Structure 1
Amino acid sequence: MFTGLINAVGTLQPYGTEQLRIICLPEQAHLLLPELEIGDSVAVDGVCLTVTQILPQGFLADASPETLSRSTLGLISEPETVNLEPALKLGSKLGGHFVTGHVDGIGSLQEVVEIDGSWEMSFSATLSIARYIVHKGSIAVNGVSLTVADCNSAGTWFKVAVIPHTYGKTTLHRLQPGSRVNLEGDILGKYVEKFLRLGDDRAAGQPPQIREEDGPFESIGPAFLTEHGYL
């Protein structure tokens, strides 16, 4: 679990068939590396990766074909600057929003406009992520926690306002119109969507239509709450 608050910036390049090498910028290595251990999770441009080897100024991570196909990491052939965030620790401040590091889809930057020292950035999104984009909702763009300032009704286009600190300390300032980005919707919206779908099935007098990928479903009632210590 992550927060979308970037700790450091580094460079990423493929290393072998399904490995990636991430090197921190020299002046930022101390922000990430001192406590990093093999097996730790790090969000790399919003993609959760597992550290497999510690390097003097960075680390190696495995990347499955699924990860490469669903994110921009599979599009990188030359060294690319990326955002880095270690996994959230128990007791840490949650200054952004809950980010899982599981990318929902790839979007692209449409326009960047500077307004009074801040920036408005407009993006397009595929249908796989558009369903979770709502006005004033949370969105992770390349792992950066942002708030949707405006969007169309379908969610296939949205705009975010970026303050100078976030714009300068992350890779957002490197993006150009047409740049591809990783997008992850708010996980709370995904749970709401599932519960509403199950509720609609019940209202229609049908048993809940649970898809295989939804996993086992248990109705929430007094017995469930008592068993789990809520009553």
Structure 2
Amino acid sequence: MFTGLIQALGTIKPLGGDSWQITCLSQSCEIVMQDLANGDSVAVDGVCLTVEKVLKNGFIATASPETLRRTTLGDERSPQKYVNLETSLRVGSKVGGHFVMGHVDGVGQMLAAEQTATSWEMTFTAPEAIARYIVPKGSIAVNGISLTVAAYEPELSQFTVAVIPLTYAETNLRYLTPGDVVNLEGDILGKYVEKFTSPTNQHSKEEITPTFLAEHGYL
């Protein structure tokens, strides 16, 4: 589990097969590399990958066929110039973004980026598998970055986020151009709400009470 607060930028290089080498670049690289060990989880552009070998300034990981199918790692349209890096959330750490699982739902495209007086307004497309979880002022992860939805146009399957200058400067959002693909992950809370309220769910006809939530792990 992650928070969507990016710790460093890196590069990613295929090594053949399903193996990838991720190299940390920025001055904050020590945050990622500190105590990094084999078996740890790192979000690479929002994709949860398991460290298989620790290198001096990076690590090697394997991306499964399912991961390649669902994410920009396997998308030929992806520029993959720089990737956002975040190590997994530690017990007791601050949650400054939102709960990001690192399980990418699908790929969207950046349509436009416009600088305003206080931020960058960036618009992305979202496939239906993700769009149904988007709500204004709700959370969404774009390339692993926790962002707040400023506007959502369901008829166009697109949404807009306002990105503060710090986030824009320290993530790979600043390198995106119209048409570039990005990894998208919907809010996990929305997915559970959908599950419990779906007409096909055996519990959907039950009243959602504190007792019901407690029985299903919401304490």
TM-score normalised over the length of structure 1: 0.85
The Cα offsets for residues 69-119 of structure 1, whole Å up to 9 and x where unpaired, read as: 100011368863100000000000000000000001100000000000410
Note closer, same or farther for the CA distance 1:153–1:87 as it changes in structure 2 (3 Å cut): same
Report the more deviating stretch, 193-202 or 105-114: 193-202
Partner residue of 2:106?
105
The percent of aligned pairs where both chains have the same amino acid is 57
Shift of 1:149: 0.1
Partner residue of 2:174?
173
AA in 2 matched with 1:30: E
Structure 1 stretches of 4+ with a deviation exceeding 3 A read: 76-79, 198-204, 218-231
Q: Is the contact made by 1:140 and 1:185 (CA closer than 8 Å) also made in structure 2?
A: yes
Note closer, same or farther for the CA distance 1:17–1:138 as it changes in structure 2 (3 Å cut): same
CA distance in 1: counterparts of 2:211 and 2:177, whole angstroms: 54
Q: Which runs of 5+ in 2 are unaligned?
A: none
Partner residue of 2:153?
152
Q: Is the contact made by 2:139 and 2:149 (CA closer than 8 Å) also made in structure 1?
A: yes
Q: Is the contact made by 1:130 and 1:155 (CA closer than 8 Å) also made in structure 2?
A: no
Shift of 1:174: 0.4
| 1:9-88 equivalent positions in 2, closer than 5 A | 9-25=9-25, 27-75=27-75, 80-88=81-89
SS at match of 2:6: coil
Determine whether 1:92 maps to 2:117: no
TM-score normalised over the length of structure 2: 0.90
Report the more deviating stretch, 220-229 or 4-13: 220-229
CA distance in 2: counterparts of 1:79 and 1:225, whole angstroms: 41
CA distance in 2: counterparts of 1:123 and 1:226, whole angstroms: 37
Partner residue of 2:129?
128
Note closer, same or farther for the CA distance 1:17–1:220 as it changes in structure 2 (3 Å cut): same
AA in 2 matched with 1:121: M
The structure carrying a bigger helix percent of its residues is 1
AA in 1 matched with 2:146: S
Note closer, same or farther for the CA distance 1:221–1:33 as it changes in structure 2 (3 Å cut): same
Size of the aligned set, in residue pairs, is 218
Note closer, same or farther for the CA distance 1:163–1:198 as it changes in structure 2 (3 Å cut): same
Q: Which runs of 5+ in 1 are unaligned?
A: 205-217
Note closer, same or farther for the CA distance 1:78–1:88 as it changes in structure 2 (3 Å cut): same
| 1:203-218 equivalent positions in 2, closer than 5 A | none
